[in-house]
Structure 1
Amino acid sequence: MTYGKIIDNLILDGELATYPVLNEKDARAAAGLMLIIGIITFVVTLFLKRFDILAITVGIFFIEFLLRVVNPDYAPFYRLGSLIVKNQRPEYSGAVQKRFAWSLGLLMAISMIFISIIFQIRGVLPFAICTICLSLLWLETSFGICVGCKMYYGLMKMGIIKEPEVMPACPGGVCSIKKPKKHNKKINK
Protein backbone atom coordinates (compact mmCIF):
# COMPACT_ATOMS: atom_id res chain seq x y z
CA MET A 1 0.00 0.00 0.00
CA THR A 2 1.37 3.39 -1.02
CA TYR A 3 1.34 6.27 1.44
CA GLY A 4 -0.23 9.20 -0.37
CA LYS A 5 -1.49 9.14 -3.94
CA ILE A 6 0.41 8.77 -7.17
CA ILE A 7 -1.30 10.97 -9.73
CA ASP A 8 -0.59 10.23 -13.39
CA ASN A 9 1.04 13.08 -15.35
CA LEU A 10 1.18 15.39 -12.31
CA ILE A 11 3.70 18.19 -12.82
CA LEU A 12 5.20 19.81 -9.71
CA ASP A 13 7.91 22.45 -9.84
CA GLY A 14 8.23 21.85 -13.59
CA GLU A 15 8.93 18.14 -13.19
CA LEU A 16 6.90 14.97 -13.51
CA ALA A 17 5.91 13.82 -10.00
CA THR A 18 6.39 10.05 -9.99
CA TYR A 19 6.13 9.84 -6.21
CA PRO A 20 3.15 9.79 -3.80
CA VAL A 21 1.67 13.18 -2.97
CA LEU A 22 -0.82 14.74 -0.58
CA ASN A 23 -2.96 17.85 -0.98
CA GLU A 24 -1.41 20.68 1.04
CA LYS A 25 -4.76 22.45 1.31
CA ASP A 26 -6.24 19.41 3.08
CA ALA A 27 -3.33 19.44 5.53
CA ARG A 28 -3.65 23.18 6.18
CA ALA A 29 -7.40 22.97 6.73
CA ALA A 30 -6.94 20.08 9.16
CA ALA A 31 -4.20 22.03 10.97
CA GLY A 32 -6.59 24.97 11.29
CA LEU A 33 -9.27 22.79 12.85
CA MET A 34 -6.76 21.33 15.29
CA LEU A 35 -5.46 24.82 16.07
CA ILE A 36 -8.94 25.99 17.07
CA ILE A 37 -9.43 23.02 19.40
CA GLY A 38 -5.89 23.39 20.72
CA ILE A 39 -6.32 27.08 21.56
CA ILE A 40 -9.65 26.48 23.29
CA THR A 41 -8.12 23.64 25.30
CA PHE A 42 -5.04 25.72 26.13
CA VAL A 43 -7.13 28.62 27.46
CA VAL A 44 -9.52 26.37 29.41
CA THR A 45 -6.63 24.44 30.95
CA LEU A 46 -4.56 27.53 31.74
CA PHE A 47 -7.30 29.67 33.28
CA LEU A 48 -9.84 27.16 34.58
CA LYS A 49 -7.36 24.38 35.46
CA ARG A 50 -9.56 21.87 33.61
CA PHE A 51 -6.95 19.18 33.03
CA ASP A 52 -9.68 16.71 32.08
CA ILE A 53 -10.26 18.76 28.92
CA LEU A 54 -6.51 18.68 28.24
CA ALA A 55 -6.51 14.89 28.58
CA ILE A 56 -9.37 14.57 26.08
CA THR A 57 -7.66 16.86 23.57
CA VAL A 58 -4.33 15.06 23.95
CA GLY A 59 -6.14 11.78 23.27
CA ILE A 60 -7.84 13.23 20.20
CA PHE A 61 -4.56 14.64 18.87
CA PHE A 62 -2.84 11.28 19.50
CA ILE A 63 -5.49 9.44 17.48
CA GLU A 64 -5.40 12.05 14.70
CA PHE A 65 -1.62 11.97 14.31
CA LEU A 66 -1.48 8.18 14.59
CA LEU A 67 -4.06 7.83 11.82
CA ARG A 68 -2.27 10.42 9.68
CA VAL A 69 0.98 8.49 9.98
CA VAL A 70 -0.81 5.26 8.99
CA ASN A 71 -3.09 6.78 6.31
CA PRO A 72 -4.39 10.36 6.43
CA ASP A 73 -7.64 9.32 4.74
CA TYR A 74 -8.64 7.70 8.06
CA ALA A 75 -7.85 10.76 10.21
CA PRO A 76 -11.04 12.67 11.21
CA PHE A 77 -9.63 16.22 11.11
CA TYR A 78 -7.82 15.52 7.85
CA ARG A 79 -11.03 14.17 6.29
CA LEU A 80 -13.07 17.12 7.56
CA GLY A 81 -10.41 19.54 6.31
CA SER A 82 -10.48 17.91 2.88
CA LEU A 83 -14.27 18.27 2.78
CA ILE A 84 -14.00 21.96 3.65
CA VAL A 85 -11.53 22.67 0.81
CA LYS A 86 -12.85 20.11 -1.71
CA ASN A 87 -13.96 22.78 -4.21
CA GLN A 88 -10.55 24.46 -4.22
CA ARG A 89 -7.79 23.61 -6.68
CA PRO A 90 -5.41 21.17 -4.93
CA GLU A 91 -1.78 22.01 -4.17
CA TYR A 92 0.21 18.80 -4.07
CA SER A 93 3.50 18.08 -2.38
CA GLY A 94 5.42 14.93 -1.55
CA ALA A 95 3.76 12.67 1.01
CA VAL A 96 6.95 11.41 2.66
CA GLN A 97 7.88 14.68 4.39
CA LYS A 98 4.31 15.25 5.60
CA ARG A 99 4.37 11.77 7.13
CA PHE A 100 7.62 12.67 8.89
CA ALA A 101 6.10 15.92 10.19
CA TRP A 102 3.02 14.10 11.46
CA SER A 103 5.29 11.55 13.15
CA LEU A 104 6.74 14.45 15.13
CA GLY A 105 3.19 15.50 16.06
CA LEU A 106 2.55 11.93 17.18
CA LEU A 107 5.69 12.03 19.35
CA MET A 108 4.48 15.26 20.97
CA ALA A 109 1.07 13.70 21.65
CA ILE A 110 2.69 10.59 23.17
CA SER A 111 4.91 12.83 25.30
CA MET A 112 1.85 14.71 26.53
CA ILE A 113 0.07 11.44 27.37
CA PHE A 114 2.93 10.50 29.67
CA ILE A 115 3.62 13.99 31.03
CA SER A 116 0.12 15.36 31.60
CA ILE A 117 -2.08 12.26 31.90
CA ILE A 118 -0.01 9.40 33.33
CA PHE A 119 2.43 11.38 35.51
CA GLN A 120 0.10 14.40 35.88
CA ILE A 121 2.94 16.89 35.61
CA ARG A 122 1.72 20.48 35.60
CA GLY A 123 3.60 23.67 34.85
CA VAL A 124 6.33 24.64 32.42
CA LEU A 125 6.94 21.32 30.62
CA PRO A 126 3.40 20.59 29.36
CA PHE A 127 2.89 24.33 28.79
CA ALA A 128 6.01 24.40 26.57
CA ILE A 129 4.96 21.33 24.57
CA CYS A 130 1.47 22.76 24.03
CA THR A 131 2.93 26.11 22.98
CA ILE A 132 5.25 24.42 20.48
CA CYS A 133 2.40 22.33 19.07
CA LEU A 134 0.10 25.35 18.72
CA SER A 135 2.89 27.37 17.12
CA LEU A 136 3.55 24.63 14.55
CA LEU A 137 -0.17 24.36 13.77
CA TRP A 138 -0.36 28.14 13.41
CA LEU A 139 2.62 28.26 11.02
CA GLU A 140 1.07 25.49 8.90
CA THR A 141 -2.36 27.11 8.84
CA SER A 142 -1.42 30.77 8.48
CA PHE A 143 1.64 30.64 6.26
CA GLY A 144 1.73 27.11 4.82
CA ILE A 145 5.05 26.52 6.58
CA CYS A 146 5.57 22.88 7.52
CA VAL A 147 8.41 22.96 10.05
CA GLY A 148 8.49 19.14 10.19
CA CYS A 149 8.95 19.07 6.41
CA LYS A 150 11.88 21.47 6.72
CA MET A 151 13.35 19.27 9.46
CA TYR A 152 12.97 16.25 7.16
CA TYR A 153 15.02 17.95 4.45
CA GLY A 154 17.57 19.18 6.98
CA LEU A 155 18.07 15.66 8.34
CA MET A 156 18.36 14.37 4.78
CA LYS A 157 20.98 17.00 3.98
CA MET A 158 22.96 15.91 7.07
CA GLY A 159 22.76 12.28 5.92
CA ILE A 160 20.62 11.12 8.87
CA ILE A 161 17.65 10.32 6.63
CA LYS A 162 18.28 8.49 3.37
CA GLU A 163 17.74 10.62 0.30
CA PRO A 164 15.05 9.19 -2.00
CA GLU A 165 15.74 8.38 -5.64
CA VAL A 166 13.27 11.02 -6.76
CA MET A 167 13.19 14.20 -4.68
CA PRO A 168 9.56 14.96 -3.75
CA ALA A 169 8.28 18.51 -4.08
CA CYS A 170 7.95 20.20 -0.74
CA PRO A 171 5.11 22.46 0.43
CA GLY A 172 5.15 25.80 -1.36
CA GLY A 173 8.11 24.74 -3.52
CA VAL A 174 10.61 25.94 -0.93
CA CYS A 175 12.84 22.87 -0.83
CA SER A 176 16.37 23.74 0.07
CA ILE A 177 17.79 20.52 -1.39
CA LYS A 178 17.73 19.88 -5.11
CA LYS A 179 18.35 16.44 -6.54
CA PRO A 180 20.33 16.12 -9.78
CA LYS A 181 17.91 16.13 -12.70
CA LYS A 182 18.95 12.65 -13.94
CA HIS A 183 16.22 11.03 -11.82
CA ASN A 184 13.35 13.34 -12.75
CA LYS A 185 11.97 13.99 -16.21
CA LYS A 186 12.19 17.70 -16.98
CA ILE A 187 9.11 19.19 -18.59
CA ASN A 188 9.80 21.89 -21.18
CA LYS A 189 7.57 24.93 -21.13
Structure 2
Amino acid sequence: MHKTIQFGEDVPGYSIRVLNEREIRAAAGILFLATFISLMLILFNNNFVPVKYVITLFFADFLIRVFINPRFAPMLILGRIIVRGQTPEYVGARQKRFAWAIGLFLSATMFVFLVWVNAYSPITGITCLVCLIFLFFESAFGICLACKFYSLVFRKKVQYCPGEVCDRKTRQDIQRTTVAQWLILLAFIAFLYTLTTYASSFYHRKPYDLFGLYTSAKPK
Protein backbone atom coordinates (compact mmCIF):
# COMPACT_ATOMS: atom_id res chain seq x y z
CA MET A 1 0.00 0.00 0.00
CA HIS A 2 1.40 3.38 -1.00
CA LYS A 3 1.74 6.13 1.57
CA THR A 4 0.90 9.72 0.73
CA ILE A 5 4.11 11.11 2.20
CA GLN A 6 6.85 8.83 0.89
CA PHE A 7 9.92 9.06 -1.29
CA GLY A 8 10.50 6.16 -3.62
CA GLU A 9 8.81 2.84 -4.22
CA ASP A 10 9.24 -0.49 -2.44
CA VAL A 11 10.01 -2.99 -5.20
CA PRO A 12 10.63 -6.71 -4.49
CA GLY A 13 14.29 -7.60 -4.94
CA TYR A 14 15.62 -4.15 -4.04
CA SER A 15 16.98 -3.42 -0.57
CA ILE A 16 16.17 0.30 -0.71
CA ARG A 17 13.38 2.35 -2.23
CA VAL A 18 13.76 3.02 -5.92
CA LEU A 19 12.33 5.14 -8.73
CA ASN A 20 11.79 4.48 -12.42
CA GLU A 21 14.65 6.13 -14.30
CA ARG A 22 12.75 6.01 -17.60
CA GLU A 23 9.95 8.27 -16.39
CA ILE A 24 12.48 10.55 -14.71
CA ARG A 25 14.32 10.99 -18.02
CA ALA A 26 11.04 11.65 -19.81
CA ALA A 27 10.09 14.31 -17.26
CA ALA A 28 13.54 15.90 -17.54
CA GLY A 29 13.15 16.05 -21.32
CA ILE A 30 9.78 17.80 -21.01
CA LEU A 31 11.16 20.36 -18.57
CA PHE A 32 14.24 20.90 -20.73
CA LEU A 33 12.13 21.56 -23.82
CA ALA A 34 9.80 23.95 -22.00
CA THR A 35 12.70 25.86 -20.42
CA PHE A 36 14.68 26.00 -23.66
CA ILE A 37 11.73 27.34 -25.69
CA SER A 38 10.95 29.97 -23.06
CA LEU A 39 14.60 31.10 -23.11
CA MET A 40 14.53 31.38 -26.90
CA LEU A 41 11.48 33.64 -26.58
CA ILE A 42 13.51 35.87 -24.26
CA LEU A 43 16.49 36.01 -26.60
CA PHE A 44 14.56 36.66 -29.80
CA ASN A 45 11.35 38.39 -28.65
CA ASN A 46 12.34 39.76 -25.25
CA ASN A 47 9.27 37.97 -23.88
CA PHE A 48 9.69 36.94 -20.22
CA VAL A 49 6.10 35.79 -19.66
CA PRO A 50 6.48 32.11 -20.74
CA VAL A 51 9.62 31.55 -18.67
CA LYS A 52 7.83 32.85 -15.55
CA TYR A 53 5.12 30.23 -15.99
CA VAL A 54 7.71 27.52 -16.66
CA ILE A 55 9.73 28.44 -13.57
CA THR A 56 6.60 28.43 -11.40
CA LEU A 57 5.61 24.97 -12.66
CA PHE A 58 9.23 23.80 -12.28
CA PHE A 59 9.33 25.00 -8.68
CA ALA A 60 5.93 23.51 -7.77
CA ASP A 61 6.81 20.16 -9.35
CA PHE A 62 10.06 19.86 -7.41
CA LEU A 63 8.34 20.87 -4.17
CA ILE A 64 5.99 17.93 -4.60
CA ARG A 65 8.84 15.58 -5.52
CA VAL A 66 11.00 16.40 -2.50
CA PHE A 67 8.49 17.07 0.30
CA ILE A 68 5.39 15.02 -0.60
CA ASN A 69 5.83 12.12 -3.02
CA PRO A 70 7.31 11.78 -6.52
CA ARG A 71 4.21 9.76 -7.45
CA PHE A 72 2.19 12.98 -7.31
CA ALA A 73 4.60 15.23 -9.24
CA PRO A 74 2.80 16.29 -12.46
CA MET A 75 5.86 16.05 -14.72
CA LEU A 76 6.71 12.57 -13.44
CA ILE A 77 3.11 11.49 -13.94
CA LEU A 78 3.27 12.75 -17.52
CA GLY A 79 6.62 10.99 -17.98
CA ARG A 80 5.10 7.78 -16.61
CA ILE A 81 2.27 7.97 -19.12
CA ILE A 82 4.69 8.53 -22.02
CA VAL A 83 7.00 5.59 -21.19
CA ARG A 84 4.35 3.25 -19.75
CA GLY A 85 5.06 0.71 -22.49
CA GLN A 86 8.75 0.42 -21.57
CA THR A 87 10.29 -1.90 -19.00
CA PRO A 88 11.17 0.08 -15.84
CA GLU A 89 14.81 0.81 -15.08
CA TYR A 90 15.13 1.22 -11.35
CA VAL A 91 17.42 3.76 -9.70
CA GLY A 92 18.09 4.39 -6.02
CA ALA A 93 15.74 6.97 -4.51
CA ARG A 94 18.26 8.38 -2.03
CA GLN A 95 20.57 10.01 -4.54
CA LYS A 96 17.61 11.23 -6.59
CA ARG A 97 16.15 13.01 -3.57
CA PHE A 98 19.48 14.73 -3.02
CA ALA A 99 19.66 15.70 -6.71
CA TRP A 100 16.09 17.00 -6.71
CA ALA A 101 16.81 19.01 -3.56
CA ILE A 102 19.50 20.79 -5.59
CA GLY A 103 16.96 21.28 -8.39
CA LEU A 104 14.48 22.67 -5.88
CA PHE A 105 17.06 25.17 -4.65
CA LEU A 106 17.87 26.27 -8.20
CA SER A 107 14.21 26.62 -9.19
CA ALA A 108 13.44 28.48 -5.95
CA THR A 109 16.26 30.91 -6.72
CA MET A 110 14.87 31.60 -10.18
CA PHE A 111 11.32 31.88 -8.83
CA VAL A 112 12.29 34.46 -6.20
CA PHE A 113 14.35 36.65 -8.51
CA LEU A 114 12.53 36.37 -11.82
CA VAL A 115 8.91 35.83 -10.74
CA TRP A 116 8.59 37.32 -7.25
CA VAL A 117 11.09 40.19 -7.48
CA ASN A 118 10.47 40.47 -11.24
CA ALA A 119 14.11 41.14 -12.09
CA TYR A 120 16.70 39.41 -14.25
CA SER A 121 20.42 39.35 -13.61
CA PRO A 122 23.49 37.12 -14.04
CA ILE A 123 22.15 35.15 -11.05
CA THR A 124 19.01 34.06 -12.90
CA GLY A 125 20.92 33.55 -16.13
CA ILE A 126 23.59 31.30 -14.62
CA THR A 127 21.05 29.40 -12.51
CA CYS A 128 18.87 28.74 -15.53
CA LEU A 129 21.89 27.60 -17.54
CA VAL A 130 22.87 25.14 -14.80
CA CYS A 131 19.31 23.77 -14.74
CA LEU A 132 19.38 23.33 -18.52
CA ILE A 133 22.69 21.44 -18.33
CA PHE A 134 21.36 19.15 -15.58
CA LEU A 135 18.12 18.48 -17.47
CA PHE A 136 19.91 17.87 -20.77
CA PHE A 137 22.38 15.37 -19.31
CA GLU A 138 19.55 13.55 -17.54
CA SER A 139 17.25 13.35 -20.56
CA ALA A 140 19.82 12.83 -23.32
CA PHE A 141 22.48 10.68 -21.65
CA GLY A 142 20.79 9.33 -18.52
CA ILE A 143 23.51 10.98 -16.42
CA CYS A 144 22.39 12.59 -13.17
CA LEU A 145 25.11 15.17 -12.57
CA ALA A 146 23.74 16.24 -9.19
CA CYS A 147 23.64 12.58 -8.05
CA LYS A 148 27.40 12.40 -8.40
CA PHE A 149 27.75 14.78 -5.43
CA TYR A 150 25.71 12.47 -3.16
CA SER A 151 28.58 10.14 -2.27
CA LEU A 152 30.90 13.09 -1.75
CA VAL A 153 28.54 14.79 0.70
CA PHE A 154 27.26 11.77 2.64
CA ARG A 155 30.28 9.47 2.19
CA LYS A 156 27.95 6.60 1.27
CA LYS A 157 28.08 4.22 -1.66
CA VAL A 158 25.40 4.97 -4.21
CA GLN A 159 23.14 2.01 -5.05
CA TYR A 160 21.20 1.21 -8.20
CA CYS A 161 22.53 3.82 -10.60
CA PRO A 162 21.23 4.12 -14.18
CA GLY A 163 23.10 1.74 -16.46
CA GLU A 164 24.70 0.13 -13.36
CA VAL A 165 27.55 2.66 -13.47
CA CYS A 166 27.96 2.35 -9.70
CA ASP A 167 28.98 -1.29 -9.89
CA ARG A 168 30.43 -1.97 -13.33
CA LYS A 169 34.20 -1.68 -13.50
CA THR A 170 34.89 -2.87 -17.05
CA ARG A 171 33.39 -1.92 -20.40
CA GLN A 172 31.95 -4.40 -22.85
CA ASP A 173 33.42 -4.57 -26.36
CA ILE A 174 30.54 -2.61 -27.87
CA GLN A 175 31.32 0.25 -25.47
CA ARG A 176 35.02 0.51 -26.21
CA THR A 177 36.28 3.38 -28.37
CA THR A 178 38.89 2.31 -30.90
CA VAL A 179 41.81 4.37 -32.18
CA ALA A 180 40.09 4.70 -35.56
CA GLN A 181 36.97 6.13 -33.90
CA TRP A 182 39.05 8.67 -31.98
CA LEU A 183 40.77 9.70 -35.22
CA ILE A 184 37.40 10.09 -36.96
CA LEU A 185 36.15 12.27 -34.11
CA LEU A 186 39.29 14.44 -34.24
CA ALA A 187 38.95 14.72 -38.03
CA PHE A 188 35.34 15.82 -37.63
CA ILE A 189 36.38 18.53 -35.16
CA ALA A 190 39.08 19.68 -37.60
CA PHE A 191 36.47 19.74 -40.38
CA LEU A 192 34.15 21.88 -38.24
CA TYR A 193 37.02 24.26 -37.45
CA THR A 194 37.82 24.55 -41.16
CA LEU A 195 34.21 25.41 -41.99
CA THR A 196 33.92 28.10 -39.32
CA THR A 197 37.31 29.60 -40.22
CA TYR A 198 37.49 29.53 -44.01
CA ALA A 199 33.85 29.26 -45.09
CA SER A 200 32.33 31.72 -42.64
CA SER A 201 31.17 34.20 -45.30
CA PHE A 202 29.52 31.41 -47.31
CA TYR A 203 27.49 30.19 -44.34
CA HIS A 204 26.56 33.72 -43.21
CA ARG A 205 24.67 34.43 -46.42
CA LYS A 206 21.01 35.14 -45.82
CA PRO A 207 18.74 32.58 -47.58
CA TYR A 208 16.26 33.92 -50.13
CA ASP A 209 12.64 32.91 -50.58
CA LEU A 210 12.89 30.16 -53.22
CA PHE A 211 9.22 30.22 -54.30
CA GLY A 212 8.45 33.81 -53.27
CA LEU A 213 5.74 32.65 -50.88
CA TYR A 214 6.76 34.70 -47.88
CA THR A 215 7.89 37.75 -49.86
CA SER A 216 4.53 38.02 -51.64
CA ALA A 217 2.67 37.59 -48.38
CA LYS A 218 4.28 40.68 -46.84
CA PRO A 219 2.11 43.83 -46.87
CA LYS A 220 3.16 46.39 -49.47
TM-score band, normalised by shorter chain: 0.7 to 0.9
- The 5 A counterparts of 1:56-71 are 56-69=53-66, 70-71=68-69
Q: Does structure 2 conserve the Cα–Cα contact (< 8 Å) formed by 1:42 and 1:130?
A: no
Residue in structure 1 matched with residue 9 of structure 2 by the alignment? 5
Q: With structure 2 as the length reference, what TM-score do the two structures score?
A: 0.69
Gaps of 5+ in 2: 168-220
TM-fit CA distance, 1:89: 0.9
Look up the SS of the partner of 1:27 in the other structure.
Answer: helix
Cα deviations across residues 8-67 of structure 1 (Å, max 9, x unaligned)? 1x2xxxxxx211000100100000111110111111122222222221111000011111
Residue in structure 2 matched with residue 47 of structure 1 by the alignment? 44
Q: Identify which range, 116-125 or 91-100, moves more after superposition.
A: 116-125
Q: Are 1:175 and 2:166 counterparts?
A: yes
The residue type equivalent to 2:165 in the other structure is V
Look up the SS of the partner of 1:168 in the other structure.
Answer: coil
User: In structure 2, how many angstroms separate the alpha carbons of the residues matched to 1:113 and 1:79?
Assistant: 23
Look up the SS of the partner of 1:107 in the other structure.
Answer: helix
Residue in structure 1 matched with residue 106 of structure 2 by the alignment? 108
Look at both structures and tell me which one has the larger radius of gyration over its CA atoms.
Answer: 2
Residue in structure 2 matched with residue 117 of structure 1 by the alignment? 115
User: In structure 2, how many angstroms separate the alpha carbons of the residues matched to 1:117 and 1:86?
Assistant: 34
Runs of 4+ more than 3 Å apart: none
Q: Counting helix residues as a fraction of each chain, which structure ranks higher?
A: 2
Residue in structure 2 matched with residue 18 of structure 1 by the alignment? 15
Cα deviations across residues 74-127 of structure 1 (Å, max 9, x unaligned)? 111100101111111111011111111111111011101122123333242211
Q: Give aligned pairs, total.
A: 162
- The 5 A counterparts of 1:13-162 are 17-69=14-66, 70-157=68-155
User: In structure 1, how many angstroms separate the alpha carbons of the residues matched to 2:45 and 2:128?
Assistant: 16
The residue type equivalent to 2:63 in the other structure is L
User: In structure 2, how many angstroms separate the alpha carbons of the residues matched to 1:96 and 1:20?
Assistant: 8
The residue type equivalent to 2:57 in the other structure is I
Cα RMSD of the aligned pairs, angstroms, is: 1.7
Q: Does structure 1 conserve the Cα–Cα contact (< 8 Å) formed by 2:55 and 2:111?
A: yes
Structure scoring higher RCO (CA < 8 A, sep ≥ 6) equals 1
Gaps of 5+ in 1: 11-16, 158-162, 177-189
Cα deviations across residues 127-161 of structure 1 (Å, max 9, x unaligned)? 1111110111000001000011111122123xxxx
User: In structure 2, how many angstroms separate the alpha carbons of the residues matched to 1:61 and 1:156?
Assistant: 26
Q: Does structure 1 conserve the Cα–Cα contact (< 8 Å) formed by 2:159 and 2:166?
A: no
